[in-house]
């Protein structure tokens, strides 16, 4: 009994510490509600229904925005298992990394994160690729992730819970073939065995060749234990209409729900009752139950936060401009999804992933904020005289580990129809490379490297090398990068139909032949892209050295052009006097 009391006392202390510490998770200049939810600026997810895309594909994206996280990618083979086999369950922290000499994140996470809890293993597990999360398996099940936070008193960092979001995605990749199946598996495991530990509120885009869903999950508080008899998580999922698109920019997106409409909604049994129990929702109010307002409410709009919460408005404004969504509209009042005014292609989605508010009032390079070379990555916001001046938070940020555009297509067999277009590093200076669902290996360079050690054998460092040299004279250098993207990225996309025709013919002969063909293509293409990016980095270093433009062929050099507006700003700020005043 004494031990039980001590344990409960410890849980209460943990809860109190969490309630106090969470205040520091909210950026300055952003107003939140009572029972403070966390606010994350980590990742952006875009979802495209099959009738909203130009070719009938379902698409989901992910930007792994972090700056200090693990960027490595890995391939897990399909496997058959003995009847008495078990699946070990691990706590896997999204953020934590280890030095390369230890074996890196995935070796150490499995070595240190074992929960002492196992599940019975299934007879067969699917092949899949994963980074920080599972992204696509050999049945075209695809995912993307965005942290959305939750009410502070819902967090549960205790070891009583067995699942975090990374582990849930890996199990879904191993065991499921459809989005609905994955949602039910992840939700059911979290209910039964508890969710949280290193994670709070999380959103997953879950897709297959037929559907795209937004799945949102929260812990239920630090006092939960498996012995409580209550669900260890609360979750809800809403289907994106086939002819519409949606986005999640670190904010809960699901509004009013209809649990009886199982065609479009899935939810845990406690989705409403827990909100009533916690005081997040009063049925007597006469107001409808709104999921996001109950579990992860936020205030503010694109305009009121100076673009800090602008991604939601920006996305809708780009895909449905005639609807004239106002940047003053509170984010909580913007729709769950919209029909795009024109159907989106893969190239369109990649362009959205690279958006930096170009041409809008929130453009971070507007005026002199971007320096003399209009660098949209330069201005990060600041505080002067205790007054906060926010920088716009773009869909595309330069502290991203990698980004993905996963496409699922029902008119092709799974190994050919599913593709993750993967890019390492900042979207504006990187190159998207295809990884097919049917591959049997990924480049070794994808699975090594970290932020603290330059490694020329690591794929990521090739893109960081180009990105670093682009920042020096951004407005000039980015044009050189775009030329390389046109060759290697657009080239790979444009040749996709011919490539997949060959793969389909081989698949009809023998699926193994198609797998070999697609694997060889992905490995060879990645090698060529990496060679091109290392050379591009060298070329940028030479070309823009010393703030000049060097032409190796003509053996000439000239000064970089400085915009007149920047010159005038310098004259005004430093009160410069002309040499000749006449």
pLDDT mean over 385-405: 93
Q: Where are the alpha helices (DSSP H) in 208-335?
A: 273-278, 291-295, 311-319
Whole-angstrom Cα distance, residue 357 to residue 311? 9
pLDDT tens figures, 241-275: 999 999 999 999 999 999 899 999 999 999 999 99
Confidence of residue 582 (pLDDT cuts 50, 70, 90): low
Residue % of the chain over a pLDDT of 70 = 93
Q: Is the pLDDT of residue 7 over 50?
A: no
Backbone CA torsion sign across 108, 113, 117, 123: negative
Sign of CA dihedral 180, 182, 185, 190: negative
Instruction: Report the pLDDT value the prediction gives residue 468, as an integer from 0 to 100.
Output: 97
Question: Are 10 and 202 spatial neighbours (Cβ–Cβ below 8 Å)?
Answer: no
Which two three-digit tokens encode residue 300? 């503010």
- DSSP string covering 66-84: -SSS----EEE--EE--TT
pLDDT at 26: 37
DSSP code of residue 288: P
Question: Which positions ≥6 away from 13 have C-beta within 8 Å?
Answer: none
pLDDT tens-digit readout, 165-208: 999 999 999 999 999 999 999 999 999 999 999 999 999 999 99
**pLDDT at 563 (0 to 100):** 87
Q: What is the predicted pLDDT for the residue at 41?
A: 75
Cα distance between residue 370 and residue 364, in whole Å: 7
Longest dimension (CA), the chain: 93
Pairwise CA distance, residues 194 & 230, whole Å: 10
* Domain ranges, ordered by start, for the chain: 2-45+52-60+114-357, 412-543
pLDDT given for residue 5 in this prediction: 38
pLDDT digits (tens, 9 = 90+) for 418-446: 999 999 999 999 999 999 999 999 999 99
Q: Round to whole Å and give the CA distance between 492 and 479.
A: 19
Contact in structure between 80 and 122 (CB atoms under 8 Å):
no
What is residue 40's predicted lDDT score, i.e. its pLDDT? 65
H/E segment holding residue 422:
strand 419-424
pLDDT at 33 over 90: no
DSSP 189-242: HHHHH-B-TT--SEEEEEE-SS-EEEEEEE---TT--GGG-S-S-EEEEEEPPT
**141 closest CA partner among 350, 434, 418:** 418
Sign of the CA dihedral running 378, 379, 381, 387: positive
Under the banding of pLDDT at 50, 70 and 90, the label for residue 25 is very low
Residue identified by tokens 């606010």 is 39
What pLDDT, on a 0 to 100 scale, did the predictor assign at position 1? 42
Specify which residues 129 forms β-bridges with: 75, 136
- pLDDT for the residue 240: 98
**What is the average per-residue pLDDT within 310-318?**
97
Q: Return d(Cα 572, Cα 512) in angstroms, integer.
A: 68
Whole-number Å distance between alpha carbons of 72 and 415: 22
Interatomic CA distance for residues 344 and 350, integer angstroms: 10
Start-end of H helices in 325-450 = 346-353, 414-417
CA distances from 206 to 48, 71, 84, 215 (A): 11, 21, 30, 7
Overall residue count recorded for the chain in this entry: 582
Helices (H) and strands (E) in the chain, counts: 14, 22
Query: What secondary structure letter does DSSP report for 161?
Result: -
Mean of pLDDT over the chain:
92
Instruction: Give yes or no for a contact between 401 and 94, defined as CB atoms under 8 angstroms apart.
Output: no
Torsion of CA 198, 153, 62, 241, to 10 degrees: 140
Neighbours of 580 (CB within 10 A): 4
Calpha distance 146→116 (Å, rounded): 28
Q: Are 356 and 363 in contact (CB under 8 A)?
A: yes
Q: Which of 405, 404, 392 is nearest to 356 (CA)?
A: 392
Question: What confidence score (pLDDT) does residue 31 get?
Answer: 36
Does 388 score more than 50 pLDDT? yes
Contact at 8 Å (CB) between 48 and 245? yes
Spatial distance between the Cα atoms of 105 and 289, rounded to a whole number of angstroms: 41
Place of tokens 């090698």: 527
> Are the CB atoms for 58 and 49 separated by under 8 Å?
yes
What's residue 6's pLDDT? 38
Least confident of 197-211, 375-389, 464-478, 516-530: 375-389
Q: What crossing angle do the helices spanning 496-509 and 511-543 adopt, rounded to 10°?
A: 150
């Amino acid at each position: 009994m004494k031990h039980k009391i001590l344990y409960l006392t410890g849980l209460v202390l943990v809860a109190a510490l969490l309630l106090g510490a969470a205040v520091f998770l909210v950026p300055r200049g952003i107003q939140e509600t009572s029972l403070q939810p966390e606010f994350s600026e980590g990742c952006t997810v875009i979802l495209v229904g099959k009738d909203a895309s130009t070719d009938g594909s379902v698409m989901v994206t992910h930007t792994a925005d972090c700056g200090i996280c693990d960027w490595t990618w890995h391939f897990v083979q399909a496997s058959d298992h003995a009847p008495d086999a078990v699946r070990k369950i691990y706590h896997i922290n999204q953020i934590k990394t280890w030095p390369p000499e230890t074996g890196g994140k995935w070796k150490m996470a499995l070595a240190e994160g074992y929960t002492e809890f196992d599940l019975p293993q299934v007879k067969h597990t699917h092949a899949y690729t994963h980074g920080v999360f599972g992204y696509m398996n050999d049945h075209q099940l695809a995912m993307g992730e965005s942290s959305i936070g939750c009410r502070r008193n819902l967090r549960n960092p205790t070891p009583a819970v067995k699942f975090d979001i990374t582990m849930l995605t890996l199990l879904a990749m191993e065991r499921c073939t459809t989005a609905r199946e994955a949602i039910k598996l992840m939700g059911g495991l979290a209910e039964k065995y508890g969710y949280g530990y290193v994670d709070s509120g999380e959103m997953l885009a879950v897709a297959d060749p037929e559907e795209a869903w937004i799945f949102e999950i929260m812990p239920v508080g630090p006092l939960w234990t498996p012995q409580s008899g209550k669900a260890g998580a609360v979750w809800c999922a809403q289907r994106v209409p086939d002819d519409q698109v949606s986005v999640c920019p670190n904010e809960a997106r699901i509004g009013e729900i209809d649990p009886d409409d199982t065609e479009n909604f899935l939810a845990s049994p406690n989705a409403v009752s827990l909100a009533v129990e916690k005081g997040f929702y009063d049925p007597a109010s006469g107001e409808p139950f709104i999921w996001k307002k109950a579990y992860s409410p936020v205030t503010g709009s694109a305009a009121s936060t100076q673009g800090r919460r602008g991604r939601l408005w920006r996305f809708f404004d780009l895909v449905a401009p005639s609807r004239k969504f106002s940047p003053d509209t509170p984010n909580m009042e913007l729709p769950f999804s919209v029909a795009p005014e024109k159907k989106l292609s893969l190239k369109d989605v990649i362009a959205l992933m690279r958006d930096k508010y170009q041409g809008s009032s929130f453009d971070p390079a507007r005026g002199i904020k971007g320096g003399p070379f209009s660098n949209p990555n330069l201005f990060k916001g600041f505080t002067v005289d205790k007054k906060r001046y926010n920088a716009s938070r773009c869909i595309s940020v330069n502290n991203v580990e990698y980004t993905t555009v996963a496409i699922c297509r029902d008119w092709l067999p799974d190994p050919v129809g599913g593709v993750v277009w993967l890019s390492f590093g900042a979207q504006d200076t990187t190159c998207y490379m295809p990884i097919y669902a049917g591959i049997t290996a990924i480049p070794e360079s994808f699975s090594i490297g970290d932020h603290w050690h330059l490694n020329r054998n690591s794929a990521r460092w090739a893109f960081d090398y180009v990105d670093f040299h682009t920042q020096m004279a951004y407005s000039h250098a980015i044009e050189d990068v775009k030329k390389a993207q046109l060759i290697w990225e657009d080239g790979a996309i444009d040749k996709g139909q011919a490539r997949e025709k060959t793969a389909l013919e081989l698949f009809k002969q023998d699926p193994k032949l198609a797998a070999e063909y697609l694997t060889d293509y992905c490995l060879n293409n990645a090698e060529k892209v990496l060679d091109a990016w290392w050379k591009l980095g060298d070329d940028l270093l030479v070309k823009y050295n010393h703030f000049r433009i060097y032409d190796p062929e003509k053996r000439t050099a000239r000064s970089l052009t400085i915009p007149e507006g920047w010159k005038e700003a310098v004259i005004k700020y430093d009160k410069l006097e002309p040499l000749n005043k006449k």
